[in-house]
Structure 1
Amino acid sequence: MMRMSGRVMSCCAALFLALASVSAVERLNSINDLKKINFGQSVPKHTLLLLHWFANVVDIDSNNIVRLTFDPNDDDFGSHHYGNFERMLEQTPYGYKYYTVGNLLLDEREQLPDYVVHPRAEYAGRNWDRIIFRVRLQSTGWQTLQQMDRVYITQHYGIPGNTTYDPEHTYEITTNLLRQIREFSVGANSLMILRNRYGSNASDFQLSEIRNIWGNLACLGLLLFIVIQERYNFIQQCAILQNETKRKEERGGNKVVTQPYIPHCNIQEPRQNQENGDTWFFLMLVVVFIYVFAILRSAF
């Protein structure tokens, strides 16, 4: 009985550790979700360039099946196997494997586009940003269009021989977000169409400036403007409004201020899997309890 009890406790501990790793990754489903990330501070701006390239190099069919168009086993684009030794991500099911791409030093065949390898100065990074993706392995060997079911953006930093990934700023990228980013590919849509579709407040003058600066990468320039610059402008406007409200409160003493505090201005980075993660975690707890109950019942 004691031996069985210890076995049950070991199973529970393993399951809880697995659940903890799963619940720690925030899912980004749209460009609006991307705007919540503090690019340039906690996450490198260069991540957006890498993600833009990746979204446009994979294939997405009408059934939302994402497939690779390159071979990570052949080191294409400097990609290679990721072992998930830190248990940062969920453990791979049988027949799946993680890969990572984004280390510019490993792109020995210079396959990555120039805007990723030699970006504009304000988007250059320290070569920390990475994309991790999970691939379903084929029993018949490598096929050109390999199916993929998970994509993450993350960071990998440290000194040679002592590097680590950053679980606090690792985000899952959904197929829907990949589709939206693909709309900003070279020559895919006009800037005005994209501006209106995604609710950007960029003026016609600003669109003209983006064209002049980015040339044939103008759609990418607009994506960066929407995700980074508009977020920054909004935070600045919120700070001004909040300071004005605070000054009115100080001048008015205990008088009621007509302009209230604006809580929606408090843009913060998304908390790790806050609502969806809590629901998922609760459901998995139910599974754990059912599993433990079944073991105990069989023990008697």
Structure 2
Amino acid sequence: MERGILIWSLLLFLALNIAYSYPNTTLNSIQDLKDRVHPLSTSQLSLLYWLASEIKNIDNNNIMTFNFDPTRGDYGSHYYKNIERVLPPLLNNIGNYYTLGNLNLTNALEFPEYVTKEFLMSTHIAEKLVNNRQRLILHAIWNHHSTMFITVDQVYLTQHYPPNWRRGSEYDPVNTYRITPNLLREIQTFQTLSATDIQNQYGIQIGPTNQIEDPLQRLALFFKMINNLKISIITFCYSNTKQRRRRAVSKEECDDLKIKLEVKTTSEGTARISWDDIPKRHLNQDVFVVLYQNKDSEIQLATTKIIEASGNFTTTAALNPGLQVRLHKSKTKWLTQKIPGEEIWRGLEFHDTREIPVGIRGYDASLQLYVKDGKASARLYVRNSFTDWMDVLKSSWVGFYSNGNTGTSTCYTWQWAVYFSKETRSDIPEYDVYVYQSSMAMSPGVHARFILWKKSGEKARTSDWEIQRPAIINVNINGYDASLQLFVREGYACARLYIKKSFSDWMDVFQNSWVGFYSNENKATMEYDENMWQWTIKFSKEIQSDIPDYDAYVYQSYRAMSPGVQARFLLSNKIEKARTLPWEIQRPADSKSPVDINGYDALLQLFIKGNKASARLYVRNSFTDWMDVLKSSWVGFYSNVNTGTCYTWQWAVYFSKETRSDMPDYDVYVYQSSMAMSPGVQARFILDNNEKARTLPWKN
């Protein structure tokens, strides 16, 4: 009897300990990662690396704020009930747990490529399951008293049980770890170190170059810090490491990893296929790029044979979530016809949003731009505690704009916010979601704004569609221990000053200095945008600087951020001491790549010859009557994308034929203009006063 009671007590003790298996391992440093997590996967490290990059602030009490809202479904995050009791119970029901990292969810495509690529490259279900086990769990609290933002005081790294254990979606307590802010700080610091500092501090040999330009290369260096890490093919190819893998990795596999197949948008809201870095060994065969309805579909929406390593192809398919580009070998049909055959590579699925939602200033709500059936659409997220939002915001509206330079009243179309349709979303219980599909075709530069009617004006602005967030680079203020940075916040151009703490009298020295915002780099010093400047001593101090030994001061202008915008630092005597790089449009392919001439079997390419801007026409040799069809067409050369006046031009039929034995399916015609080539120069193909093609701006 006593033995039975003892056994029962032991089983009860074990059951209680299993039911409440709180993490007993805390990771406080990179060294802890190396020493205490075995095995440590690249998927786990990628998630931690990403989370560190999203830190907005860590206060003196180790309370964290991030650049995203886990309670809103950003990056596929969703509510976690902690049924397995893997984590400590929440005291007084303050806040909730949220999990993120499930790469099967649509919103997970918001993650950077280094987080998703290994999973999306997996070809077998078993491999996908293994590469999608890792998760982050955040304890998030909504602060709605004086300011409205999400704070996080606990972060955990965990994973599901292995698939063959048949434990479903349960988390494994043995492989659950508490992550401290100190570890995240250390990873974040690594992300800003120069190549020299990485070599000196961590003993990692980078090679002959001191530049770390590719994000995957920097991530690979981070992985190399972890001893005995079984790296993936992705990081192997980017790290130039001699570390062995399960099998040999060929140069061809690494070359294929660099292939870029993307879905972009045209000015009509249709899909444009974009490709880059196609290896020469594939181009030496006949290869096709094909647009599919989604990753699981075999329905081909558009097909084109490619002849260059980079390029674009305009389709008639409406832009919709799920679209995917694949690269195929060719096969012969009916003895002579070439059609797509064996698949070589596939790109990521097209995601209907570009960024997470932006907050509507002063309200428990946010705005997101997305695309549906090729049309610009908007999504409103309203926290369900904001129950009277329809009364409070009854006069508010959302407008759709073609670019950042247009005024509030010059929107293409608009809709009252209270007329948005409610969307059923069970995955984010703390928000109600409302949507509206406009009549405006989605195109590069389109964005949405949230406006209060005749009151406080604009309250939110999304990023421009397909506008790049360039690397935010600090430029030195000549002669002083300070630097200037241009960045964007809520769609507006902003400046940040970094002042070295030892430069204690900077306010006296810079008493009459100011920062101006300019629409482009060709503007003179006093041609800054109207009322778009501020005295530097009136900049607001940030609570915490992201650069040690420096204080940070910021100013948000009223100038909408757009391509070409620049900030400059000037002293009172109008002497310029610093200027940032212009804010740029994303280049989906190399500026030297051919672009389709819309509606015709021909391509236009900008190139340089004898320092002069030149153009090349590729005409498919089956297009035998092109000189008759395009007899009134011409190619113009322009100094930049914003000008409507060409510097010089030439009729297309007057181009000279070029001998090209490497492209038997095309005839090639060239023209060298009198215009000196310089950054920003562009060629356009015009037919009967209608533009049919324009190259990307020239980039040296």
- On whether the aligned pair clears a TM of 0.5, the verdict is yes
Deviations 1:113-150, CA, capped at 9 Å, x for gaps: 1111114979985211000111123356993x311111
* Alpha carbons 1:25, 1:89 under 8 Å: kept: no
Change (3 A) 1:204 1:78: closer
Partner residue, 1:172? 178
Residue 50 (1) aligns with residue 47 (2): yes
* Alpha carbons 2:74, 2:107 under 8 Å: kept: no
* Alpha carbons 1:210, 1:222 under 8 Å: kept: no
One-letter amino acid of the counterpart of residue 92, structure 1: L
Partner residue, 1:137? 142
Q: Percent identity?
A: 32
Measure how far apart 1:88 and its partner are: 0.7
Measured in 2, the distance between the counterparts of 1:210 and 1:35 equals 26
Measured in 2, the distance between the counterparts of 1:90 and 1:31 equals 24
Measure how far apart 1:43 and its partner are: 4.0
Q: Which is further off, 67-76 or 47-56?
A: 67-76
One-letter amino acid of the counterpart of residue 172, structure 1: R
Measured in 2, the distance between the counterparts of 1:209 and 1:231 equals 26
Partner residue, 1:270? none
Residue 152 (1) aligns with residue 149 (2): no
One-letter amino acid of the counterpart of residue 222, structure 1: L
Measured in 2, the distance between the counterparts of 1:181 and 1:19 equals 33
Deviations 1:187-207, CA, capped at 9 Å, x for gaps: x1112213333xx232353x8
Residue 128 (1) aligns with residue 133 (2): yes
Measure how far apart 1:107 and its partner are: 3.7
Measured in 2, the distance between the counterparts of 1:107 and 1:77 equals 8
One-letter amino acid of the counterpart of residue 112, structure 1: F
Measure how far apart 1:163 and its partner are: 1.9
SS in 2 for 1:104: coil
Deviations 1:136-191, CA, capped at 9 Å, x for gaps: 23356993x31111111110244999321111111111000000011232xx1112
Measure how far apart 1:209 and its partner are: 10
**193, 197, 202: which one aligns with 1:193:** 197
Q: CA RMSD in A?
A: 4.0
SS in 1 for 2:90: coil
Measured in 1, the distance between the counterparts of 2:147 and 2:110 equals 20
Change (3 A) 1:210 1:26: farther
* Alpha carbons 1:80, 1:101 under 8 Å: kept: yes
Partner residue, 1:181? 187
Measured in 2, the distance between the counterparts of 1:230 and 1:128 equals 17
SS in 2 for 1:110: helix
Measured in 2, the distance between the counterparts of 1:68 and 1:219 equals 22
SS in 1 for 2:35: coil
SS in 2 for 1:163: coil
Partner residue, 1:112? 111
Measured in 2, the distance between the counterparts of 1:181 and 1:203 equals 19
Partner residue, 2:484? none
**49, 58, 61: which one aligns with 2:58:** 61
Deviations 1:261-287, CA, capped at 9 Å, x for gaps: xxxxxxxxxxxxxxxxxxxxxxxxxxx
Q: Which is further off, 65-74 or 95-104?
A: 65-74
Change (3 A) 1:106 1:231: closer
* Alpha carbons 2:136, 2:158 under 8 Å: kept: yes
Measured in 1, the distance between the counterparts of 2:228 and 2:34 equals 9
Deviations 1:232-257, CA, capped at 9 Å, x for gaps: 99xx9xxxxxxxxxxxxxxxxxxxxx
**181, 202, 205: which one aligns with 1:203:** 205
Partner residue, 1:162? 168
SS in 2 for 1:146: strand
Measured in 2, the distance between the counterparts of 1:201 and 1:57 equals 26
Measured in 2, the distance between the counterparts of 1:191 and 1:32 equals 20
Structure with higher RCO (Cα < 8 A, 6+ apart): 1
* Alpha carbons 2:198, 2:204 under 8 Å: kept: no
Measured in 2, the distance between the counterparts of 1:91 and 1:203 equals 45
Measured in 1, the distance between the counterparts of 2:153 and 2:216 equals 28
5+ residue gaps, structure 2: 1-12, 232-240, 245-700
Deviations 1:63-106, CA, capped at 9 Å, x for gaps: 24311322223211000011110011110122121000000111
Measure how far apart 1:18 and its partner are: 10
Scaled by the length of structure 1, the TM-score of the pair is: 0.59
Measure how far apart 1:221 and its partner are: 1.9
Measured in 1, the distance between the counterparts of 2:77 and 2:227 equals 27
SS in 1 for 2:170: strand
SS in 2 for 1:53: helix
* Alpha carbons 1:97, 1:137 under 8 Å: kept: no
SS in 2 for 1:91: coil
Measure how far apart 1:37 and its partner are: 4.3
Partner residue, 2:25? 26
Partner residue, 1:70? 68
Matches within 5 A, 1:224-243: 224-229=223-228
One-letter amino acid of the counterpart of residue 177, structure 1: L
Measured in 2, the distance between the counterparts of 1:26 and 1:109 equals 28
Partner residue, 1:295? none
SS in 2 for 1:224: helix
Change (3 A) 1:37 1:195: farther
